[in-house]
């Protein structure tokens, strides 16, 4: 059954729209000092000399810090740090854009000018290590999500038994998160107490990293983050600028504000690494998979192994007696990459769902039917039962809403005037990250209910979700609920990543509200709760609870699913691709607030469109430098790029995932879009684009590979 769209409007919407909402850099601080970073201009080498004389003499400049006078910081490791290398600790340059100095001045402009006047010279400058030149190696444990390698059955035997085999290589480019709000830190010390206002997806991770860096107990560090102007993963971990601002505040004895420039956002808080993925699928005559092999390699820094777990979804997506997945990394001269919405599956499902489309053509089978035929009864790699597996429902519902049944199978068979028209589809999945969290709920005699949780509001609408949960649990009006969030002084929560906040923080709020309801029910009287509090002579009553995901779901394969169908129109002379409409149906646990959930999926699809059509950060191999560090050179979609988006949800409460039945949705919408578009482009043009983005030059000058599907006689 398709769930209806309704729900609570964002309680913080008006404040954000009118500019009343405070973001980190808006924090008013008396006597604040402004910091500006000096980035390294080489990708590998050693700092020979830093001439700070001109900067120190410049108007308003208070100090210039380099590796020679920077306090020595202690590390806590990654995560919560985004990378293992700490800033300004030695003279080694490991990536272009690495901070080599920091200028502190009375105003923002004076700090920027001072930074321009710092002259660094470098020695031992070598040719950077570029992706594709080196060796692919097994990642060392560390900054890895999931299980990079795994095998079940005998893939070689499965391929030998197959009558149709498709094998192809797919690539995705380096991408940057490019949130509207650049990363920013405002740090103030009061004795040995540190307060930091930060744009972060993880206030408690920031607290941990800062406490470790300055050798303080955690409760001496308070991190505040009321709102985030977009994060998408680049604010998930703690990056050098946060440590630098806190160190500068300690050195100068004044509060310090550090806001990264747009250009610095390309070298300071990670990026999504390129992937090169090879997929081999074998089937019998009926289109049943006999073997699946999916290997991926991605570049990482020279000093950390960040493995992009692109083969993740392939582990549980389709039934096959033999599956072999592996992720390798290559050490290159760049900053350590980091997760970006949607990491892992967002990249891997481009390859898998493109290959499934190629297989459908080789078999002359409808691509939806091919997927339905390979629907597994249990998790194909672990043998575990699925907590829920409504993928077929999503496929059927979305196909019907889209009108898929009228599709002619042949490429280049639909035309409208001069435009070629194509329809394509893809399955969608995302892993389910379940993270522990705490929350406190307080009911006051004045009729207000206060929800308190340290968690961050990244823009998904979490305050509305928590309001809904508290109001439903206590049976009070949502308008009487206030949510306080974004502060390490509030109950501890996990980071806002892995699409986990509704499930984790929401379950904690539900548990606290349930406990509070029981306490309120134990009061004398029968009237409304505030009245009963007053009668009992109480101003307020509260309850705090922690939700631990270990309490349930053991031995279950827990994921979210969906299906997306798109129509593209291609101008064959200009290579232009438009997406006038798309239909997507998702199964992602119980949907708490359908209004903001739908917005999440629309945003995810727009994000996936960007992956398919526009986004690419070219890393110049000789310089080891991202070429276009601005929003003119890094293209993201605008409203005019995208037509009608039809989003629906299957009702799929999953109590193996959480007591609320909720799972995660934040990243799911970004998955599968690029494959559906590439498949639609093939249907429109007969050109198979296996390298993202699907740029004009790729469509006008296609690489006409030897046909990859091979059908044995
Ligand atoms: Mo997300 S890439 O888990 O912030």
Instruction: Evaluate whether residue 110 is within a structural domain.
Output: yes
Does residue 498's CB lie within 6 angstroms of at least one atom of ligand 1?
yes
What confidence score (pLDDT) does residue 704 get? 54
Shortest-distance atom of ligand 1 to CA 342? 2
Shortest-distance atom of ligand 1 to CA 458? 4
Pairing assessment for the beta strands 164-172 and 710-711 based on DSSP bridges: antiparallel
The arrangement of strands across the sheet holding 193-198 comes to 61-66, 99-105, 33-39, 256-259, 184-190, 193-198, 221-224
Does residue 339's CB lie within 6 angstroms of at least one atom of ligand 1?
yes
How far is ligand 1, taken at its centre, from the CA of residue 425, in Å? 25
CA–CA distance, 45 with 65 (Å, rounded to integer) = 20
CA–CA distance, 82 with 147 (Å, rounded to integer) = 19
Whether 568 and 594 map to the same domain: the answer is yes
How far is ligand 1, taken at its centre, from the CA of residue 346, in Å? 11
- Distances from the Cα of 705 to the Cα of 170, 222, 404, angstroms: 12, 57, 29
Instruction: Evaluate whether residue 447 is within a structural domain.
Output: yes
How far is ligand 1, taken at its centre, from the CA of residue 421, in Å? 34
Instruction: Evaluate whether residue 694 is within a structural domain.
Output: yes
Q: Which of 547, 568, 591 is the last residue of a domain?
A: 547
How far is ligand 1, taken at its centre, from the CA of residue 340, in Å? 5
Whether 289 and 391 map to the same domain: the answer is yes
| Catalytic one of 106, 492, 667, 697 | 667
How far is ligand 1, taken at its centre, from the CA of residue 231, in Å? 8
Whether 262 and 301 map to the same domain: the answer is no
Instruction: Evaluate whether residue 143 is within a structural domain.
Output: no
Shortest-distance atom of ligand 1 to CA 497? 3
Shortest-distance atom of ligand 1 to CA 343? 2
Alpha helices in 44-118 (DSSP H): 53-57, 108-117
How far is ligand 1, taken at its centre, from the CA of residue 342, in Å? 7
Whether 663 and 679 map to the same domain: the answer is yes
Does residue 341's CB lie within 6 angstroms of at least one atom of ligand 1?
yes
Residue 270 gets the label, from left (phi > 0), alpha (psi -120 to 50) or beta, of left
Owner of token pair 């028209």: 421
Instruction: Report whether 325 contacts 150 (CB < 8 A).
Output: yes
Residue of the CA atom closest to atom 4 of ligand 1: 233
Rounded (5°) CA angle 352-354-358: 115
CA–CA distance, 508 with 510 (Å, rounded to integer) = 5
pLDDT profile of the chain (713 residues), mean per 10: 67 92 93 98 97 98 97 93 96 98 97 98 96 92 73 98 97 97 98 98 98 98 96 97 98 97 98 98 97 97 95 97 97 97 96 98 97 98 97 98 95 95 98 95 96 95 94 95 97 94 96 97 88 93 97 96 98 93 97 94 96 96 94 90 94 95 95 98 96 93 56 43
Does residue 236's CB lie within 6 angstroms of at least one atom of ligand 1?
yes
Q: Smallest Cα–Cα separation from 326: which of 353, 278, 350, 294? A: 294
Ligand 1 binding pocket mutation candidate from 233, 337, 338, 460 (most atoms within 8 A of CB): 233
Ramachandran angles phi, psi of 510, nearest 5°: -60, -40
Whether 85 and 167 map to the same domain: the answer is no
| Domain ranges, residue 604 | 149-174+271-432+555-711
Shortest-distance atom of ligand 1 to CA 499? 3
Whether 462 and 386 map to the same domain: the answer is no
Instruction: Report whether 150 contacts 339 (CB < 8 A).
Output: no
Instruction: Evaluate whether residue 35 is within a structural domain.
Output: yes
Q: State the CATH number of the domain containing residue 528.
A: 3.30.365.10
Q: Smallest Cα–Cα separation from 323: which of 331, 332, 314? A: 314
Q: State the CATH number of the domain containing residue 198.
A: 3.90.1170.50
Q: Where are the beta strands (DSSP E) in 513-607?
A: 540-547, 559-571, 576-587
Half-sphere exposure of 600 (CA within 13 A, CB side): 32
Rounded (5°) CA angle 610-305-237: 60
Ramachandran angles phi, psi of 460, nearest 5°: -80, -20
Does residue 340's CB lie within 6 angstroms of at least one atom of ligand 1?
yes
Annotation says 667 is catalytic: yes
How far is ligand 1, taken at its centre, from the CA of residue 228, in Å? 13
Residue 129 has what DSSP assignment? P
Q: Which of 547, 564, 586 is the last residue of a domain?
A: 547
How far is ligand 1, taken at its centre, from the CA of residue 456, in Å? 13
Owner of token pair 């501890």: 492
Ligand 1 binding pocket mutation candidate from 343, 435, 500 (most atoms within 8 A of CB): 343
CA–CA distance, 154 with 282 (Å, rounded to integer) = 12
Q: Which of 250, 266, 282 is the last residue of a domain?
A: 266
Does residue 497's CB lie within 6 angstroms of at least one atom of ligand 1?
yes
| Three state DSSP letters for 330-394 | EECCCCCCCCCCCCCHHHHHHHHHHHHHHHHHHHCCCHHHHHHHCCCCCCCCCCCCECCCCHHHH
How far is ligand 1, taken at its centre, from the CA of residue 376, in Å? 28
Instruction: Report whether 245 contacts 256 (CB < 8 A).
Output: yes
Whether 85 and 207 map to the same domain: the answer is yes
Ligand 1 binding pocket mutation candidate from 237, 238, 495, 497 (most atoms within 8 A of CB): 497
Whether 503 and 385 map to the same domain: the answer is no
pTM: 0.96
Hey, what are 64's tokens? Answer: 């210039």
Shortest-distance atom of ligand 1 to CA 500? 3
Burial (CB < 10 A; 0-12, 13-18, 19+), residue 438, is buried
Shortest-distance atom of ligand 1 to CA 340? 2
What confidence score (pLDDT) does residue 524 get? 85
Instruction: Evaluate whether residue 308 is within a structural domain.
Output: yes
Q: Smallest Cα–Cα separation from 129: which of 627, 622, 618, 626? A: 622
Whether 34 and 93 map to the same domain: the answer is yes
Ligand 1 binding pocket mutation candidate from 236, 338, 456, 671 (most atoms within 8 A of CB): 236
Instruction: Evaluate whether residue 10 is within a structural domain.
Output: no
Instruction: Report whether 412 contacts 580 (CB < 8 A).
Output: no
What confidence score (pLDDT) does residue 713 get? 36
CA–CA distance, 411 with 251 (Å, rounded to integer) = 66
Instruction: Evaluate whether residue 684 is within a structural domain.
Output: yes
How far is ligand 1, taken at its centre, from the CA of residue 521, in Å? 40
Does residue 201's CB lie within 6 angstroms of at least one atom of ligand 1?
yes
What confidence score (pLDDT) does residue 367 get? 98
Whether 367 and 513 map to the same domain: the answer is no
Helix (H) or strand (E) holding 207: helix 203-213
Shortest-distance atom of ligand 1 to CA 495? 4
Whether 349 and 223 map to the same domain: the answer is no
Pairing assessment for the beta strands 61-66 and 99-105 based on DSSP bridges: antiparallel
Domain tally for the chain?
A: 3
Residues 6 or more apart whose CB falls under 8 angstroms from that of 548 comprise: 436
Whether 114 and 165 map to the same domain: the answer is no
Ligand 1 binding pocket mutation candidate from 339, 504, 671 (most atoms within 8 A of CB): 339
């Amino acid at each position: 059954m398709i769930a209806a769209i309704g729900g609570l409007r964002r309680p913080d919407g008006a404040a954000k729209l009118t500019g009343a909402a405070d973001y980190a850099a808006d924090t008013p601080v008396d006597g604040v000092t402004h910091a500006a970073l000096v980035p390294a201009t080489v990708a590998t080498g050693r700092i020979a000399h830093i001439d700070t004389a001109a900067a120190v003499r410049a108007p308003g400049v208070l100090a210039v810090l380099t590796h020679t006078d920077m306090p020595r910081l202690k590390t806590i490791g990654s995560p919560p740090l985004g990378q293992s290398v700490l800033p300004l600790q030695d003279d080694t340059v490991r990536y272009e854009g690495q901070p080599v100095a920091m200028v502190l001045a009375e105003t923002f402009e004076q700090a920027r000018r001072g930074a321009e006047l710092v002259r660094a010279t470098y020695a031992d400058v070598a040719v950077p290590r570029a992706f594709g030149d080196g060796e692919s190696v097994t990642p060392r444990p560390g900054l890895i999500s999931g299980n990079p390698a795994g095998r079940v059955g005998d893939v070689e035997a499965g391929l030998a038994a197959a009558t149709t085999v498709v094998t192809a290589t797919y690539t995705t480019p380096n991408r940057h998160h490019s949130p509207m709000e650049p990363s920013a830190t405002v740090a103030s010390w009061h004795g040995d107490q540190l307060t930091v206002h930060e744009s972060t997806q993880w206030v408690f991770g920031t607290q941990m990293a800062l406490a470790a860096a300055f050798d303080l107990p955690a409760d001496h560090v308070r991190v505040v983050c009321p709102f985030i102007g977009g994060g998408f993963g680049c604010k998930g971990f703690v990056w050098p600028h946060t440590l630098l601002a806190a160190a500068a505040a300690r050195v100068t004895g004044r509060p310090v504000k550090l806001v990264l420039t747009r250009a610095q956002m390309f070298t300071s808080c990670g990026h999504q690494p390129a992937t090169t993925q090879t997929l081999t699928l074998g089937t019998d005559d009926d289109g049943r998979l006999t073997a699946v092999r999916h290997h991926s390699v991605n570049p990482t820094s020279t000093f950390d192994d960040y493995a992009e777990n692109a083969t993740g979804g392939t582990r549980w997506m389709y039934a096959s007696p033999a599956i072999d997945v592996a992720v390798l990394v290559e050490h290159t001269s760049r900053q350590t990459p980091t997760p970006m919405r949607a990491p892992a599956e967002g990249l891997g499902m481009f390859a898998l769902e493109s290959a499934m489309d190629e297989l459908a053509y080789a078999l002359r089978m409808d691509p939806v039917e091919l997927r339905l035929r390979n629907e597994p009864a249990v998790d194909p790699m672990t043998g575990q039962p699925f907590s829920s597996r409504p993928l077929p429902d999503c496929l059927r519902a979305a196909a019907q809403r889209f009108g898929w049944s009228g599709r002619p199978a042949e490429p280049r068979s639909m035309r409208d005037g001069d435009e070629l028209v194509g329809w394509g589809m893809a399955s969608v999945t995302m892993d389910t990250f379940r993270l522990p969290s705490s929350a406190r709920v307080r009911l006051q005699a004045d009729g207000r209910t206060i929800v308190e949780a340290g968690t961050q509001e990244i823009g998904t609408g979490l305050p509305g979700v928590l309001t809904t949960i508290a109001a439903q649990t206590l049976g009070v009006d949502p308008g009487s609920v206030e949510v306080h969030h974004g502060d390490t002084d509030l109950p501890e929560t996990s980071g806002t990543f892995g699409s986990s906040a509704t499930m984790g923080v929401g379950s904690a709020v539900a548990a606290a509200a349930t406990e509070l309801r029981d306490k309120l029910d134990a009061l004398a009287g029968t009237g409304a709760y505030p009245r009963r509090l007053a009668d009992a002579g109480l101003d307020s009553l509260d309850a705090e609870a922690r939700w631990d995901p270990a309490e349930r779901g053991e031995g279950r394969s827990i994921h979210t699913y969906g299906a997306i169908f798109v129509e593209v129109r291609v101008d064959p002379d200009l290579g232009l691709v438009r997406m006038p409409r798309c239909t997507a149906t998702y199964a992602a646990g119980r949907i708490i607030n359908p209004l903001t959930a739908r917005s999440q999926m629309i945003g995810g699809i727009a994000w996936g469109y960007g992956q398919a059509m526009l986004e690419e950060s070219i890393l110049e191999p000789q310089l080891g430098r991202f070429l276009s560090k601005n929003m003119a050179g890094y293209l993201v979609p605008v409203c005019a790029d995208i037509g009608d988006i039809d989003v629906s949800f299957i009702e799929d409460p999953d109590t193996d995932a959480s007591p609320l039945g909720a799972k995660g949705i934040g990243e799911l919408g970004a998955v599968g879009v690029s494959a559906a578009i590439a498949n639609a482009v093939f249907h429109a043009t007969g050109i198979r684009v296996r390298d993202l983005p699907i740029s004009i030059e790729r469509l006008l000058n296609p690489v006409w590979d030897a046909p990859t599907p091979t059908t044995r006689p």
